[in-house]
Chain A
C-alpha cells in the first residue's frame, strides 16, 4: 500500500458559527503506480481529500500515510495540478516549469533540459519563451502539468485539471496524460466530476457522496490498456458508466423522475 487514507474526517467551522462536516471517515488504500479517480458531486469534499493527502490541510481525525510515513506537513515528493492552472504570470513558460527547480534548489542545467523535454512531450516546443497570457487554456494546463512533473515525483495529485477546458481539448489532454502515465507509471490521484473521464483514465474509481463527503463505492475498471478514445464506445465502458450512475441515483445525486 503506497498511500493509505485511514478514517479521515474533516470538519470546518462555517462562517455563521456552526460546523460543516466536509468528510466523514474516509478510508482508501492506493497502490504504487495506480491511477485512481475520485468522482462525486460538487461539494462532496473531493478537493478537501486531495488537500489532506498532500498534507496541505490537516485532517480533523484520522491519518494519511504515504510510503508508511504519516503525513504531518506538506508532503513534497508530489506534483499538484489545479483546475485553475495557477501559472505565474510573470514567468515565461519555461520559467514556470523551472519554478519547481528554483524552489527545490535542484541543479538548473539538467533540470532545464528536462523541462524542455517535458514541454516538447506535451507539444509546447517553441513556446518556451512565451508568457502564460499568450497561451490558450489547454496550453496553460499543459504547462502546469509539466511543472508538476519536473522533479519526477512519486505522486501526482490532480484536482479537476481539465474541468475548465472545452470538450476536444479535454479529450486530447486525457490521451496525453494516459500516454504519459503508461510510460512513467506514477501514482495518480485524480479528482473529477466527469464519470467518463474517470472511467477512461483510471484503474479504480472512487465514488463519493456529498454533505458529509464519504466513499459510497469503489469500482475497479478492468478495461485493457493502453486505452484509446474508442474504448468509450464499448459495451464494457457503458456498463461501468451505468454502474456508477446507478450509485449516484441510489444516493440521490441523480434523479430520473
Chain B
C-alpha cells in the first residue's frame, strides 16, 4: 500500500510554490538581460583587442569593420540571406510533411515500425556532409539538393520526438477515452496529438538549428547563391570581414527561425511546463 502524502509534505509543496511566485514577481518588475550584457561585453573586448593589438583584418576584423561591411553590402547580403532562408524554410516544412505522417504510422503499426524505424535510426550514422557531393551530382546545382540535405538533417529529430510523444499517452488516459466511446480519430485528435505536442515541439526546435546548418553545408558544396556561397566567395578573396558578415546573418537567421517556432509553441501550449518555466503566471 502506498502512503498518501502527509499534510506536512503538502505544506512544504505550497511553500515552495509561494517562493517561486515571489521570484517570478520580482523578475516581472525588472529582468536583468544577462545574455545581452554578456554579448555586449564580448563584442567590446573584441573591438578593444583588435584596436590595441592591431590584428591584421585578414585574420580577425574588428566588430566595427564587420558592421561596416554589413551596411555597405546590405542589398546583396539581404538577397543572399533570403536565398538561404528559402532553402531552410522549404526544406523544414517538407521535412515536417514527411516526418509527421511517418511518425503517426510508426505509432499505429508495429510491423511498419519494426521494418522501417531501425533503418531510419541506422541511417543517421551516415554523415550528411559526406552525402552532399553525391546529391549534387544527382540533382544538380539548383534548389533541389539543398532542400534534400535540409530534409535529411532535420527529419530525424522531428520524427523521433514525434514518435516518443505520440506513444506517451498513458494507459489511464486511453481507457478514459475508450470509456467515453471515443473512436480512433477522436483518440488521436483529442488525446494523443495534444499530449504529444510538447515532445513534437522539442524536435521541431532542434530541427531549426540543424536546418540552417544543412542549408549552408549544401551551399558550400555547390551553389550560386545563399550565405554559404557568400562565405565561399569571401574565402577565395581573403575577405574575412565578409565571412563574418555572412556568419552574423546566419546566426540572426537561426535565432529568428528558432524564435518563430518557440513563439508558435507558446501560442499552442500555454499550459506546458517548458513554456511556463520562463513565463510569469498571475495565477
Q: Which residues of A contact B (CB under 8 A)?
A: 41-42, 51, 54, 56, 74-76, 78, 80, 82, 84, 86, 88-90, 99-100, 102-104, 130-134, 136-137, 163-168, 170, 193
Contacts and interface: CB of A to CB of B under 8 A. Distances in A.
B169 to A, nearest CB: 10
B176 A82 contact: yes
A193 B191 CA distance: 30
B186 A103 contact: yes
Nearest to B9: A166
Nearest to A54: B179
Nearest to A135: B283
Contact of B182 (A41, A103, A130, A136): A103
Given A56-B175, A163-B4, A167-B7, A89 B271 contact: yes
Given A163-B2, A165-B4, A166-B10, A80 B271 contact: no
Nearest to B174: A56
Given A51-B175, A54-B179, A82-B176, A103 B4 contact: no
Residue from A86, A90, A130 with most neighbouring chain B CB atoms (10 Å): A90
B175 A103 contact: no
Contacts of B32: none
A163 to B, nearest CB: 6
Interface in B157-201: 170, 172-173, 175-182, 186, 190-191, 194-195, 197
Nearest to A84: B172
Residue from A82, A103, A136 with most neighbouring chain B CB atoms (10 Å): A103
Contacts of A89: 195, 271-272
Contacts of B176: 80, 82, 86
Nearest to A83: B172
Given A166-B4, A166-B6, A167-B4, A76 B181 contact: yes
A99 B5 contact: no
B5 A56 contact: no
B269 interface: yes
A146 to B, nearest CB: 14
B273 interface: yes
Closest 3 CB pairs of A and B: A76-B181, A103-B180, A131-B271
Contacts of A78: 179
Interface in B1-57: 1-2, 4-7, 9-10
A168 B5 contact: no
B25 to A, nearest CB: 16
Contacts of A163: 2, 4
Contacts of A164: 2, 4-5
Interface footprint category on B: 20 to 34
B180 A100 contact: yes
Given A84-B172, A165-B5, 13 more contacts: A56-B178, A74-B179, A75-B179, A103-B181, A104-B180, A133-B271, A134-B281, A136-B10, A137-B5, A163-B4, A164-B5, A166-B4, A170-B4
Contacts of B179: 54, 56, 74-76, 78, 80
8 contacts: A80-B176, A86-B176, A89-B195, A89-B271, A164-B5, A167-B6, A168-B7, A193-B1
A254 to B, nearest CB: 12
A10 B5 CA distance: 32
B79 interface: no
A86 B7 contact: no
Interface in B238-283: 269-273, 276, 281, 283
Given A89-B272, A133-B276, A103 B177 contact: yes
A56 B177 CA distance: 10
B2 A166 contact: no
A177 to B, nearest CB: 16
A74 B7 contact: no
B172 A166 contact: no
Given A41-B1, A164-B4, A168-B7, A86 B170 contact: yes
Contacts of B9: 166
B186 A134 contact: no
Contacts of A76: 179-181
B1 A42 contact: yes
